[in-house]
Every structure is written in structure tokens, then in C-alpha cells.
């Protein structure tokens, strides 16, 4: 899926998004649109300035950007259910695996059944080898910082769009890697179910 260009103007201020940010575990039965999913992905780890460094929306030591962002899609308009990798440079999705795996992801995340009701689940991974070549063991710590920046961006953009999200750090790492067919060097860091807020 090729996303439209991300919007650079939002309906609320950064201060309002910060004040209203909450973890949301109840989602409306409504699909995500390509615009909303693309905007969330861009805010989380997209390219904000093209050029020699291809700067992203988060800071990264030496602009190495060792993270990857995956989408477990189940109910997104115009997108078949499956696992996708976000291509930040192309602002698009690359299919990794087909089929709706939201329930399986919820099971791997220590049986958090509510996650399966989110139309999409984001998975942040880190390729430790990319950054440890330059920074050694300290580079691994840097990936945790970067994952946190990504998650906060996701929260703030979700709030601006009227979406809900929750950061999930409890999961069986090896099982999640197998389920999503992640490369062996990609270590899952955080899981983020995303969907429209339920007001019931």
C-alpha cells in the first residue's frame, strides 16, 4: 500500500495532545483508513527530511535508525489482512505475511484478548547489530531510547487523530518473532494496538 503524503498540520496543539494522552484498550468497530494509518506510521518512524541523512521523526544516534516498524493489519480499508513492514523512505507497506494474526498476537502478548479488537497492531523492532557496530554494547541501550521516542510519537499522533493506542511490553519474544516471521536480527521492543476510540 502506498500512503498519501502525511499532513503537516493537525487539529489540536502539541500541548493539548500531551494533556489528553491516555492508554486506550477499548476500540470502536470501525476500520482504519489509509490516511489515518499512514499518518500514524509517519509520525512514529517516518522520514521528516529527505537528503543525505533522511532524517526521521525521532532522534537516532549518528542517524543510524536501527529500528523497524511492522503492522499487523486486520481491518484497514483497502488493505488485505496480514503482516507488513513499513518502508519509511517510500512511505508505503511491504507485505511480509498474509492472514489476520491479531488474535495470535494478543495470545503471544500474555493473553491480552482486548488487543485483537484493534484494527491494526504496530510492532517496533530493533536490529541491534546495525548500531552495535558503531557504539558497541551501549548501542543496545540506545535502541530502547529510540523505541520510547517512537511510542510517544505514536501516542501523540493518535490523540490528534482521535485514535486510541496502548503500549504493550509484555510478550513472549521468540514466539512473536516466529509468528510475524521477523528476521533473526530483529528484536521486538514494543507492541502498539491502534484503533478508533470507543465511547460506549
Confidence of residue 39 (pLDDT cuts 50, 70, 90): very high
200 pLDDT tier (thresholds 50, 70, 90): low
pLDDT of 164 over the 70 cut: yes
Q: What is the pTM of this model?
A: 0.96
Residue whose C-alpha cell reads 488487543 in the numeric block: 115
DSSP state of 103: H
Domain 24-196 bears CATH identifier 3.40.109.10:
yes
Mean residue pLDDT across the chain:
96
What pLDDT shows up at residue 46? 98
| Burial of 64: CB neighbours in 10 Å, binned 0-12, 13-18, 19+ | middle
- Please, what sign has the CA dihedral across residues 193, 186, 146, 65? negative
Tens-digit pLDDT profile for residues 51-105: 888 999 999 999 999 999 999 999 999 999 999 999 999 999 999 999 999 999 9
Domain assignments of the chain as residue spans, ordered by start: 24-196
Based on the number of CB atoms within 10 Å of its own CB, is 52 exposed (0-12), middle (13-18) or buried (19 or more)? Answer: exposed
Amino acid at each position: 500500500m502506498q500512503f498519501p503524503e502525511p499532513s503537516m498540520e493537525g487539529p489540536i496543539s502539541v500541548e493539548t495532545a500531551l494533556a489528553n494522552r491516555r492508554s486506550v484498550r477499548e476500540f470502536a468497530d470501525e476500520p482504519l483508513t489509509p490516511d489515518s494509518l499512514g499518518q500514524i506510521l509517519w509520525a512514529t518512524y517516518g522520514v521528516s527530511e529527505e537528503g543525505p541523512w533522511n532524517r526521521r521523526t525521532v532522534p537516532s544516534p549518528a542517524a543510524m535508525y536501527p529500528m523497524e516498524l511492522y503492522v499487523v493489519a486486520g481491518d484497514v480499508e483497502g488493505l488485505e489482512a496480514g503482516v507488513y513492514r513499513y518502508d519509511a523512505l517510500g512511505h508505503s507497506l511491504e507485505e511480509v505475511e498474509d492472514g489476520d494474526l491479531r488474535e495470535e498476537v494478543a495470545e503471544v502478548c500474555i493473553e491480552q484478548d482486548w488487543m485483537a479488537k484493534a484494527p491494526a497492531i504496530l510492532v517496533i523492532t530493533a536490529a541491534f547489530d546495525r548500531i552495535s557496530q558503531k557504539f558497541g554494547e551501549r548501542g543496545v541501550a540506545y535502541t530502547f531510547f529510540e523505541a520510547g521516542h517512537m511510542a510517544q510519537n505514536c501516542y501523540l499522533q493518535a490523540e490528534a487523530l482521535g485514535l486510541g493506542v496502548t503500549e504493550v511490553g509484555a510478550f513472549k519474544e521468540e514466539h512473536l518473532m516466529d509468528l510475524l516471521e521477523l528476521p533473526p536480527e530483529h528484536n521486538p521492543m514494543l507492541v502498539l494496538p491502534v484503533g478508533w476510540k470507543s465511547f460506549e
